[in-house]
């Protein structure tokens, strides 16, 4: 039981009751585990964590927290051919960043290799496992198909003593890689193919990140996972749907080892997270990195945790998202808008507001004194008064967003246009008097405006209304920066499935506009001290963070995390067809 007083324990929100929590509730009622709840997050260290793993992390650690239980971090490192230290380190960093703590319970399946081997000898001793000498191809051929049963290996009925001897010699390194395997002796005619004498050990002379060269036989997932759960005292072993067919095997091994006591682990499967416009398989993510379609595992377009972190996502946003999508057994795909909603919700509360002009258009305020530079006090976050204020320089020459001016304004456009008056956020009202263009190209190069000295601070004594409020940056003090505008990585919702169906490479659906680099953006000078990784709201535009690897004082680089909702863009889009 949780030692903390009830009021300090995380409270389960009503409505957050999913089928897994219902199972746990029932187990708690029946006393199956004596009220104990112990989960684990078991990544294989063969790649970086992505948003799909976040769902599992939030589920496993979240359940442990809610029930006053524990959650282990366990590396499922049974296949040294694919696993690397780099991944072991990044995974820990990502889980920690997401806000979870495994305390002193950092485990590896490889910690149990000796114990697992003893279990294997036990199975052999009971006549429940045998050493097979069939080749990989022969094993595949004799396994049968979903509709036809397999056939027994000629080595299936060896005496126990011979099997034991062979297994020990396998471990001792007497046989060549791939020449022998240890298989469970179950049923070659089982309708569930996983039960057709599955392999427990294979011979691989590969050095392991954790155990080095002390083993030349390695356990398979099926053999290692359930037993590791049992060793750790896991009560609820939560995994994804594709392991559903493995559950009978999970249970068979536990039975075979006489783990019949109450409290033996129980495997529960849920549907993995699918998101639109991206790919989630480690194989594909690795390929995108290796082939240079993205700048690395932490490219801000990647659905990896480190990519999202670099993009400007917050742990809280990811956690809220994972909690809000629910847990079920239905194969589903979550709308990207859901993720973005939680991102904006979190950032809206915490991101300081600043002004930045991405596509600058110069404005000269003709009746404002040339040498004058006022300091205007501006709030940092209307959602959070404790965020304080900062000073903004205001001068005769400023930049506004090119798109905030229309020479021929469409209906419902209430920004700047010839003769129109708008408010400069925190500043004055200005009216457009003249449009200056480049005589050769015809491009608008400058706007000549006048300001109303009475409108300081953004309102006038006569109380007249202006419909538009624009963001701006003073020319003389502007900080120049590069801004990277990110969009979805793929241009179709289901790149992997579409590719398979149409028999093309999923990479042909890569969105060519997933990154737009904008140079020469003008930022308010307060951003000069912005620390790498911090996220701001660029007023009226979106959330942007200082790129953690490419930004420098000499050349600031900002990533667009997510845009603000934009109902004007919606109106404009809707009006266009007419």
Partner RNA sequence: UGGGACGUCGGCAAGCGGUCAAGCCACCGGGUUUUGAUCCCGGCAUUCGGAGGUUCGAAUCCUCCCGUCCCAGCCA
Binding to RNA by CB under 7 A, coded x per residue (else -) over 419-458, reads: ----x-xx------------------------------xx
49 and 304 Cβ atoms separated by less than 8 Å: yes
User: Site for RNA (CB under 7 A): which residue of 181, 356, 398, 473?
Assistant: 181
CA gap 509, 37 in Å, rounded: 44
Tell me which of 121, 165, 244, 374 binds RNA, using CB under 7 A.
Answer: 244
User: What is the sign, positive or negative, of the torsion defined by CA atoms of 523, 526, 528, 530?
Assistant: negative
Pairing of strands 557-563, 542-546: antiparallel
Integer Cα distance of 561 and 308 in angstroms? 9
**Span of 153-161, 306-314, 326-334, 360-368 interacting with RNA by CB under 7 A:** 326-334
Encoded one letter per residue, x for contact with RNA by CB under 7 A and - for no contact, window 98-137 reads: ------------------------------------xxx-
Per CB under 7 A, which region of 116-124, 340-348, 514-522, 526-534 contacts RNA?
340-348
Cβ atoms within 10 Å, residue 81: 9
- Provide, rounded to whole angstroms, the least separation between the CB of residue 16 and RNA: 9
Stretch that binds RNA, among 100-108, 111-119, 244-252, 508-516 (CB under 7 A): 244-252
**x/- letters, 383..422, toward RNA (CB under 7 A):** x----------------------------xxxx-------
Closer of 63 and 515 to RNA (Cβ)? 63
Give the number of C-alpha atoms closer than 13 A to the C-alpha of residue 59, restricted to the C-beta side: 31
Candidates 341, 395, 487, 491; binder of RNA (CB under 7 A) is: 341
Q: Minimal distance in Å, beta carbon 108 to RNA? A: 11
- Pairing state between β 421-424 and 429-437: antiparallel
Q: How far is the CB of 323 from RNA (least distance, A)?
A: 10
Shortest reach from residue 413's CB to RNA, in Å = 4
- For position 220 contacting RNA by CB under 7 A, the verdict is yes
Identify whether the C-beta of residue 67 lies closer than 8 Å to the C-beta of residue 35.
no
Tell me, by CB under 7 A, how many residues bind RNA: 91
- Determine the interface stretch with RNA among 29-37, 199-207, 440-448, 482-490 (rule: CB under 7 A): 199-207
Q: Determine which residue in the list 25, 174, 480, 566 makes contact with RNA, applying CB under 7 A.
A: 566
Min separation Cβ 465 and RNA, Å: 8
Element at 182 (helix H, strand E): strand 181-184
Q: Which of 4, 126, 140, 464 binds RNA (CB under 7 A)?
A: 140
Task: Give the nearer residue to RNA in terms of CB position, either 142 or 532.
Answer: 142
Residue 186 CB partners (closer than 8 Å, separation 6+): 195, 196, 197, 198, 249, 252
Residue 554 CB neighbour total at 10 angstroms? 5
* Two structure tokens written together for 277: 């416009």
How buried is 569 (Cβ within 10 angstroms: 0-12 exposed, 13-18 middle, 19+ buried)? Answer: exposed
Give the count of beta carbons closer than 10 Å to the beta carbon of residue 435: 14
- Three-point CA angle 83, 84, 88, nearest 5°: 100
Taking the complex as a whole, the smallest distance from the CB of residue 284 to RNA amounts, in Å, to: 12
Task: Return the residue of 35, 99, 296, 326 that touches RNA, per CB under 7 A.
Answer: 326
Single out the residue of 256, 259, 518, 564 in contact with RNA (rule: CB under 7 A): 564
Q: Are strands 479-486 and 557-563 parallel, antiparallel or unpaired?
A: parallel
Relative orientation angle of helices 19-30 and 51-66, to the nearest 10 degrees: 30
Rounded to the nearest whole angstrom, what is the least distance from the CB of residue 37 to RNA in the complex? 19
Instruction: Catalogue the active-site residues.
Output: 44, 272, 282
Q: Which stretch binds RNA (CB under 7 A): 51-59, 324-332, 475-483, 524-532?
A: 324-332
Q: Which of 246, 266, 310, 319 binds RNA (CB under 7 A)?
A: 246
Site for RNA in 273-312 (CB under 7 A): none
User: Cβ of residue 553: shortest distance to RNA, in angstroms?
Assistant: 26
C-beta of 305 vs 539, nearer to RNA: 539
Instruction: List the one residue out of 424, 391, 390, 388 whose CA is nearest residue 405.
Output: 424
Residue 193 near RNA by CB under 7 A: yes
Confirm or reject binding of residue 503 to RNA (CB under 7 A): no
- The span from the CA of 252 to the CA of 245, in Å, is 12
Residue pair 228/74 in contact by the 8 Å Cβ criterion: yes
Greatest distance between any 2 Cα atoms in the chain: 102
Closest CA to 545 of 300, 377, 304, 342: 300
Contact pattern for RNA over residues 60 through 89, marking x by CB under 7 A:
----------------x-xx-xx-------
Question: Closest distance between RNA and the C-beta of residue 24, in Å?
Answer: 13
Compare residues 520 and 568 and give the one whose CB is closer to RNA: 568
Q: Is 344 in the site for RNA (CB under 7 A)?
A: yes
Q: If you search the block for the tokens 């920004």, which residue do you land on?
A: 415
Contacts of 150 (CB under 8 A, 6+ apart): 142, 143, 144, 188, 189, 196, 197
């Amino acid at each position: 039981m949780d030692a903390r007083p009830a009021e300090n324990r995380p409270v389960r929100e009503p409505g957050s009751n999913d089928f897994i929590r219902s199972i746990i509730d029932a187990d708690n009622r029946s006393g199956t585990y004596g009220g104990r709840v112990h989960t684990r997050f078991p990544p294989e260290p063969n790649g970086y964590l992505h948003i799909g793993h976040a769902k599992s992390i939030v589920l496993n650690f979240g359940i442990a927290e809610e029930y006053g239980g524990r959650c282990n971090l366990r590396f499922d490192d049974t296949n040294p051919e694919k696993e690397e230290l780099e991944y072991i380190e990044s995974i820990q960093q990502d889980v920690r960043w997401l806000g979870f703590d495994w305390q002193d319970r950092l485990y590896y399946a490889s910690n149990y290799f000796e114990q697992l081997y003893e279990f294997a000898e036990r199975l052999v001793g009971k006549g429940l496992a045998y050493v097979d000498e069939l080749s990989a191809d022969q094993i595949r051929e004799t396994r049968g198909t979903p509709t036809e049963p397999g056939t027994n290996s000629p080595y299936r009925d060896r005496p126990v003593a011979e099997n034991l001897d062979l297994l020990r010699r396998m471990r001792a390194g007497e046989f060549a890689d791939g020449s022998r395997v240890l298989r469970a002796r179950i049923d070659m005619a089982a309708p569930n193919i996983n039960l057709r004498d599955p392999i427990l050990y294979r011979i691989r002379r590969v050095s392991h990140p954790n155990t080095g060269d002390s083993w030349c036989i390695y356990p398979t997932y099926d053999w290692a996972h359930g037993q590791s759960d049992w060793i750790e005292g896991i009560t609820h072993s939560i995994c994804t749907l594709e392991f559903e067919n493995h559950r009978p095997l999970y249970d068979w091994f536990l039975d075979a080892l006489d783990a019949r006591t109450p409290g033996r682990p129980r495997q529960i499967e849920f549907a993995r997270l699918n998101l639109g416009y991206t790919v989630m398989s480690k194989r594909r993510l690795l390929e995108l990195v290796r082939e240079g379609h993205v700048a690395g595992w932490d490219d801000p377009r990647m659905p990896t945790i480190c990519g999202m972190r670099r993009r400007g996502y917050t742990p809280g946003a990811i956690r809220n998202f994972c909690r809000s999508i629910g847990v079920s057994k239905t194969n589903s795909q979550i709308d990207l808008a859901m993720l973005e909603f939680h991102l904006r919700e979190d950032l809206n509360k915490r991101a300081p507001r600043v002004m930045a002009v991405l596509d600058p258009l110069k404005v000269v305020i003709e009746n404002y004194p040339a040498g004058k530079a006022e300091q205007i006090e501006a709030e940092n976050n209307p959602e959070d008064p404790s965020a304080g204020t900062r000073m903004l320089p205001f001068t005769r020459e400023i930049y506004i967003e090119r798109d905030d001016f229309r020479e021929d304004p469409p209906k419902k456009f209430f920004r700047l246009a010839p003769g129109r008056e708008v408010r400069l956020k925190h500043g004055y009202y200005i009216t457009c008097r003249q449009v200056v263009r480049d005589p050769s190209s015809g491009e608008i190069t400058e706007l000549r405006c006048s300001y109303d000295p009475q409108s300081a601070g953004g309102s006038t004594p006569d109380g007249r209304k202006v419909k538009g409020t624009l963001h701006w940056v003073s020319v003389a003090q502007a900080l120049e920066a590069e801004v990277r505008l990110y969009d979805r990585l793929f241009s179709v919702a289901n790149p992997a499935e579409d590719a398979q169906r149409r028999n093309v490479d999923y990479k042909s659906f890569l969105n060519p506009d997933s990154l737009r680099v904008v140079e020469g953006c003008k930022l308010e000078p307060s951003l000069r001290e912005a620390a790498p990784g911090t996220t701001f709201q660029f007023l009226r535009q979106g959330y942007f963070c200082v790129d953690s690897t490419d930004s420098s004082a000499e050349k600031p680089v900002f990533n667009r995390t997510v845009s603000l909702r934009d109902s004007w863009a919606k109106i404009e889009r809707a009006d266009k067809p007419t």
